[in-house]
């Protein structure tokens, strides 16, 4: 495949063809096997986090450092000129002269697209409100491939906040290339949005809605748990009603398939009990570690250092 990734913006998972997804996953595999230490030497990452983040920011910055590159930026929009009223457009225009690639997290939806229009250097979306978080999807796909040996024809349950959780939206879209059977487990008020369901129907993906994990535990290869996100609720009482809707404990893992792996984009609150960490089915910390390798692969590709 010619390097269609050089200088490419990573805005939304839906912008990528199946072959392109697999291309990134193959580079992720190779980097995990043996990371080329000096690959990004001389390159500077502009790390622009207008919203708090732990895993995504640290894994991007670690990815850059471990490949010999360096990082400038900020981890809180409160300390930038945005606080003084500077537009995102202007902030990006300024940063373009200091960095070779921009990683952006911003509370407003569509901000990564806007940033990409402002600059010539590649922009990687690290989360724009509840819209897109494509690098999470790359690492999720890689993790599923790694622990199951294939992405094709898997039975996958997504549980928790399927309405506001951008990770499950993007993952569901990406999985449509691989003929999954999807089980969507959530309280009614947090069901998968209609437009995602419409897309699944259009692509003839089999899916069903469920209210409890028990209904589907013995059928699935992957359980993708998500946090009920308090910050996405406009009224606290709505959050209180559903915050404990799903709590996974080890006794629910008695009759599951041997190959079942439990994933979670993290952070978790209480939806996976601590005791589950010791189970051979738990795979969420390996998943978090894979974030480093997937982001290394993406940085190498958009900076033209990988082909």
Partner 1 sequence: MAQKVLAVAAIRNGTVIDHIPAGQALKIVHLFHWECHQKLVTLGLNLPSRILSFKDIIKIEDLVLSANEANQVAILAPKATVNIIQDFEVISKFQVSIPASIASIISCPNPKCISNHEEMISSFKVKSHQNHVSLECKYCRRIFLYDSLDKKRIL
> Among 1, 17, 72, 108, which residue sits at the site for partner 1 (rule: CB under 8 A)?
108
Residues 201, 176: Cα–Cα separation, whole Å: 10
69 or 134, CB closer to partner 1? Answer: 134
Residues 283, 268: Cα–Cα separation, whole Å: 13
> Among 76, 109, 214, 218, which residue sits at the site for partner 1 (rule: CB under 8 A)?
109
Q: Which stretch binds partner 1 (CB under 8 A): 73-81, 102-110, 143-151, 200-208?
A: 102-110
Longest dimension (CA), the chain: 57
222, 144 in Cβ contact below 8 A? yes
Q: Give all strands of the β-sheet with 70-74 in edge-to-edge order.
A: 70-74, 44-49, 101-106, 123-128
Q: How many CB atoms lie within 10 A of CB 148?
A: 16
Q: Which stretch binds partner 1 (CB under 8 A): 36-44, 68-76, 81-89, 145-153?
A: 81-89
Q: Per-residue contact track with partner 1, 179 to 208, x per CB under 8 A?
A: ----------------x-------------
The residues annotated with a catalytic role in the active site are 55-56, 84, 105, 133
- Identify which of 18, 15, 20, 21 has the alpha carbon closest to the alpha carbon of residue 3: 20
DSSP 10: B
75 or 131, CB closer to partner 1? Answer: 131
Q: Per-residue contact track with partner 1, 125 to 164, x per CB under 8 A?
A: ---xxxxx--------------------------------
> Among 3, 70, 113, 250, which residue sits at the site for partner 1 (rule: CB under 8 A)?
113
Q: Which stretch binds partner 1 (CB under 8 A): 45-53, 86-94, 139-147, 282-290?
A: 86-94
Q: Which stretch binds partner 1 (CB under 8 A): 39-47, 83-91, 205-213, 257-265?
A: 83-91
Q: Assess whether the previous peptide bond of 137 is cis (omega < 30° from 0).
A: no
178, 154 in Cβ contact below 8 A? yes
Residues 234, 244: Cα–Cα separation, whole Å: 18
190, 160 in Cβ contact below 8 A? yes
Is 107 an interacting residue with respect to partner 1 (CB under 8 A)? Answer: yes
> Among 7, 32, 55, 114, which residue sits at the site for partner 1 (rule: CB under 8 A)?
114
Contacting positions for partner 1 (CB under 8 A): 12, 14, 87-89, 106-111, 113-114, 128-132, 195
């Amino acid at each position: 495949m010619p390097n269609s990734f050089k200088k490419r913006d990573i805005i939304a998972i839906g912008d990528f063809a199946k072959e392109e997804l697999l291309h990134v996953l193959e580079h992720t595999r190779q980097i995990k096997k043996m990371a080329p230490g000096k690959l990004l030497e001389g390159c500077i990452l502009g790390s622009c986090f207008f919203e708090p983040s732990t895993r995504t920011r640290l894994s991007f910055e670690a990815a850059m450092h471990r490949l010999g590159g360096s990082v400038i930026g900020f981890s809180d929009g409160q300390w930038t000129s945005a606080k003084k009223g500077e537009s995102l457009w202007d902030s990006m225009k300024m940063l373009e002269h200091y960095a070779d690639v921009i990683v952006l997290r911003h509370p407003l939806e569509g901000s990564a697209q806007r940033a990409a229009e402002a600059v010539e250097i590649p922009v990687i979306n690290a989360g724009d409100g509840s819209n897109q978080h494509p690098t999470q999807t790359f690492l999720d796909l890689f993790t599923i491939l790694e622990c199951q040996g294939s992405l094709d024809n898997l039975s996958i349950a997504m549980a928790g906040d399927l309405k506001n959780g951008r990770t499950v939206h993007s993952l569901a879209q990406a999985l449509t290339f691989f003929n999954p059977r999807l089980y969507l487990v959530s309280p009614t008020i947090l069901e998968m949005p209609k437009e995602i369901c419409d897309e699944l129907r259009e692509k003839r993906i089999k899916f069903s809605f469920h209210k409890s994990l028990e209904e589907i535990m013995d059928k699935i290869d992957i359980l993708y748990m998500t946090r009920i996100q308090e910050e996405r609720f406009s009224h606290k009482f709505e959050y209180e009603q559903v915050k404990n809707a799903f709590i996974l404990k080890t006794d629910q893992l008695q009759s599951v398939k041997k190959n079942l792996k439990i994933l979670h984009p993290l952070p978790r609150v209480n939806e996976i009990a601590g005791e589950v960490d010791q189970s051979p089915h738990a795979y969420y910390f390996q998943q978090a570690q894979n974030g480093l390798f997937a982001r290394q692969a993406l940085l190498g590709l958009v900076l033209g250092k990988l082909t």
